[in-house]
């Protein structure tokens, strides 16, 4: 009696996953630069963390200042989501633009994954220890990588979608 129920549950779960996957593929295929830019979350900006934000790497704040300026977990979550969108921008450029620098795209992939891991680690530490030193250090690492990824995404947009750069700068 239990085995048929488990089999049905497994089939339903797989079917739901495939439907969701197909919708995400369809959404990705219908994207434009404008729809990608519209998905960036502007609730928090990393401008306060760097004097050269979007143009060069490097933070101009300590881990404690970074934690305060990013408004704690709010800034972490925005970085997590925006890193995913910038990753999709890199994929979109690789798929739709001629002569895209593959090293830049791979670097953006790596940045996005590292940012997301750092953010998830910081959020996990925060859940148990609140704003401890480990949380601030992980947030600082994530913010540093985020600044670099934003600068590289700006470079990508300047080369392959120059008209979108002002909208990207405004959204970030």
56 has a pLDDT exceeding 80:
no
Q: Please report which confidence band the pLDDT of residue 16 belongs to, taking 50, 70 and 90 as the band edges.
A: very high
108 has a pLDDT exceeding 90:
yes
CA–CA dist 169, 161 (Å, integer): 13
Average pLDDT of the chain? 86
pLDDT-above-70 percentage for the chain: 94
Residue 118 has a CB neighbour count (10 Å cut-off) of 24
How distant is the alpha carbon of residue 110 from its chain centre? 11
Q: Indicate the angle between helix axes 133-160 and 73-96, nearest 10 degrees.
A: 30
Per-residue pLDDT tens digits for 69-93: 888 889 999 999 999 999 999 999 8
Sign of CA dihedral 60, 62, 63, 66: negative
| Helix/strand/coil for 27 | helix
Quick one: residue 108, left, alpha or beta (phi over 0 = left, psi -120 to 50 = alpha)?
Answer: alpha
How distant is the alpha carbon of residue 118 from its chain centre? 11
């Amino acid at each position: 009696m239990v085995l048929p129920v488990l089999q049905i549950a497994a089939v339903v779960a797989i079917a739901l996953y495939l439907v969701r996957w197909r919708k995400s593929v369809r959404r990705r295929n219908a994207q434009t630069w404008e729809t990608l830019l519209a998905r960036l979350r502007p609730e928090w900006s990393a401008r306060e963390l760097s004097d050269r934000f979007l143009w060069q790497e490097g933070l101009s704040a300590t881990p404690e200042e970074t934690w305060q300026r990013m408004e704690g977990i709010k800034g972490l979550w925005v970085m997590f989501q925006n890193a995913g969108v910038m990753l999709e921008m890199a994929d979109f450029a690789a798929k739709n633009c001629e002569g895209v620098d593959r090293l830049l795209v791979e670097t953006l992939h790596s940045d996005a994954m590292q940012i997301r891991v750092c953010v998830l680690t910081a959020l996990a530490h925060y859940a148990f220890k609140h704003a401890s030193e480990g949380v601030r250090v992980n947030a600082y690492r994530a913010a540093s990588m985020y600044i670099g990824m934003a600068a590289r995404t700006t470079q990508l947009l300047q080369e392959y979608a120059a008209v979108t750069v002002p909208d990207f700068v405004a959204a970030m």
